[in-house]
Amino acid sequence: MKNLVVLVSGSGSNLLRILEAIDCEEISNAKVTLVIADRACGALQHADDYEIPHSIIKRGKEFSQELENAIPKNTDLIVLAGFLSILSPEFCEHFQGKIINIHPALLPKFGGKGMWGMHVHQAVIAAKEKESGATVHYVTPEVDEGQIIMQGVVKLSAHETAESLADKVHQIEYRIFPDAIEKLTKK
């Protein structure tokens, strides 16, 4: 059984999907041992509902080091599910190949610093893209540039708004994130 630690900052709908996927064995060989947030957020309520240990580590000078200290030694995969802090190069190197993130666009397009949340969807609309989607990728010190593990595509409609696109992308995230975790953790 693989041990997952999930890092969150937001509503935690992806965390909830992961927990549901574990419950129904879509994710067959992994469990969430700990949820860590960098702020008070809705995601912690999901952890609480599922009786998963959770804590808050606020951003500060030693943030990545505190995070590293908090992650149990037996952790197989660190899952960034809407985590808005940038991890230090030392943290990324320490857990090399063990950190994954979900990004709400088709990387390598629309990634990098400043490309988060609605900024991403607004940029996609402004660029008149015909499609967008979500990308699960490994985390390296270069923001959003790690190796791609899985992508899911959505088509933009003629009257797409950033809000409607965000909804569509969330739906595809709920499919590919559990699939990617299953791929990386199955026996």
Residues found near ligand GRF in the complex (CB under 6 A):
10-14, 43, 81-82, 102-104, 134, 170, 173
Structure tokens at 151: 């992508």
Contact by Cβ (8 Å): 87, 67:
yes
103 has catalytic annotation: yes
How far from each other are the two terminal CA atoms of the chain, in whole angstroms? 8
**Which residue's CB is nearer to ligand GRF, number 41 or number 65?**
41
- Token code pair at residue 85: 């802090």
Tell me the closest approach of the beta carbon of residue 120 to ligand GRF, in angstroms.
Answer: 8
Residue with smaller CB distance to ligand GRF, 65 or 122: 122
Indicate the residue among 119 and 186 with the shorter CB distance to ligand GRF: 119
Indicate which residue of 46, 54, 94, 103 is catalytic.
103
One-letter amino acid of 134:
A
CA–CA gap between residue 105 and residue 134 (Å, rounded):
5
Residues designated as active site: 103
